[in-house]
Copies of this chain bind each other. A is one copy, B any other.
Amino acid sequence: MEEKTDNPKKVLHKDKTISVLNTMPSNNTIEELAQFFKIISDTTRIKILYTISKRKLCVIDIASAISMSQSAVSHQLKNLKISRIVKCEKIGKQVYYSLNDKHVEKLFSISLIHIEEGKSGRRK
């Protein structure tokens, strides 16, 4: 599961490619990076994160705010919780969810800048 096809074939610039490997994180770290971006790459989860970014909310309020079913939201909250991006707190019958990671909002704002720049650069 480490390396896929061992397919070295040819290298045009061996010296360059070797030096690149020094800055490359370990396979394990790359896998964690990918996993983290995957969790914030779904529109439902992004909406959930925005919804609870200001204050903690219970599941049906989140579902109502983003017009998704309770079940769908609950499933995604579970994923977000496993990834330690949200935390929850049970009060009576309700479970209140809130952000557990101060980095997510920063990632969103940086990425929105990226998106906006892409738009202005794409004008014809």
Contacts and interface: CB of A to CB of B under 8 A. Distances in A.
A40 B41 CA distance: 9
Interface residues of A, number: 71
A20 B65 contact: yes
B67 A12 contact: no
B43 A30 contact: yes
A47 interface: yes
Given A36-B115, A111-B33, A67 B21 contact: no
A46 B34 contact: yes
A23 B68 contact: no
A78 interface: no
Contact of A12 (B36, B60, B113): B60
Interface of A: 3-13, 16-17, 19-21, 23-25, 27, 29-38, 40-43, 46-47, 50-51, 53-55, 57-58, 60-65, 67-70, 72, 84, 94, 101, 103-104, 106-108, 110-115, 118, 121-122
